[in-house]
Amino acid sequence: MQILDNKLWFPPANEALEDGLLAIGGDLSSERLLLAYRNGIFPWFDDEIPLWWCPDPRFVILPDELKVSKSMKQLIRRNAFDFRVNTAFEQVIMNCKEVYRPDQQGTWITDKVAEAYIKMHKLGYAHSAEAWLNGELVGGLYGIRLGKVFFGESMFTHVSNASKYAFIRYLEKLRQEDVQLVDCQVYTEHLESLGARMISRDEFLQLLAQLIS
């Protein structure tokens, strides 16, 4: 594991520890975040210190392998939620910031993280997919889009199936735009039910090299 300074660099991904931790430190500048994502690296935080990860294997969805249950197909057919993109990015990330996860002490989305991704949104790299109901934001997700890859970061829901609805509708949109890989980072049962699967880090990095120009 490497300790980063103010220089803009990352060690090779294959130098990550067994749990995927690659480096610690550095900053959250847009330049560093873009370099990270292009190299298959993403940030999590611990006590305000950036931790940079590149796990092996990697959890991904290939848009053509998206699985939609009968119940979700029914919700989509009747437009159960109003689906929108990039109309409330800051609201989405702040809602994700408040999500409680039993396996974490608090949230990894610190104020600095939120500020960094809001800046990335203003630069056109970070995007939100949103589910609205009766004029209220009830679910959604955000992530980074580079070339033909979408890197999912976090999601939230206040109404049953809202985040899943936003995710499915957004993947359908991405597929129409020729996005060929969605990075889910690490395993969750929720995303596995939608068709996510593990691939090796080497295969993941090869795909990034092909799909990000």
Expressed as residue numbers, the domain containing 81 is 59-211
DSSP SS3 for 204:
helix
Q: Are residues 117 and 184 in the same domain?
A: yes
Q: Are residues 90 and 184 in the same domain?
A: yes
Give me the pLDDT at residue 107, please. Answer: 56
Give me the pLDDT at residue 48, please. Answer: 76
Residue 198 has pLDDT above 90, yes or no: yes
- Confirm if 185 and 57 have CB atoms less than 8 A apart: no
Lowest mean per-residue pLDDT among 26-35, 107-116, 172-181, 202-211: 107-116
What's this model's pTM, rounded to 2 decimal places? 0.94
Q: Which two tokens stand for residue 40?
A: 């298959």
Give me the pLDDT at residue 47, please. Answer: 67
Average pLDDT over residues 188-195: 94
How many structural domains does the chain have?
2
Distance of alpha carbon 45 from alpha carbon 52, whole angstroms: 8
- Confirm if 207 and 61 have CB atoms less than 8 A apart: no
Average pLDDT over residues 44-70: 92
- Model confidence over 123-182: pLDDT tens digits? 999 999 999 999 999 999 999 999 999 999 999 999 999 999 999 999 999 999 999 999
Q: Are residues 16 and 29 in the same domain?
A: yes
56, 74, 90: which is the final residue of a domain?
56
Residue 103 has pLDDT above 50, yes or no: no
Residue 25, domain CATH: 3.30.70.3550
Determine what percent of the chain falls in helix, strand and coil, rounding each to the nearest 5. Answer: 35, 30, 35
- Confirm if 38 and 212 have CB atoms less than 8 A apart: yes
Residue with tokens 């990270």: 36
40, 56, 72: which is the final residue of a domain?
56
DSSP strands (E only) in 73-148: 82-85, 126-133, 136-146
Distance of alpha carbon 138 from alpha carbon 149, whole angstroms: 26
- Confirm if 183 and 144 have CB atoms less than 8 A apart: no
Selected residue with higher pLDDT from 212 and 102: 212
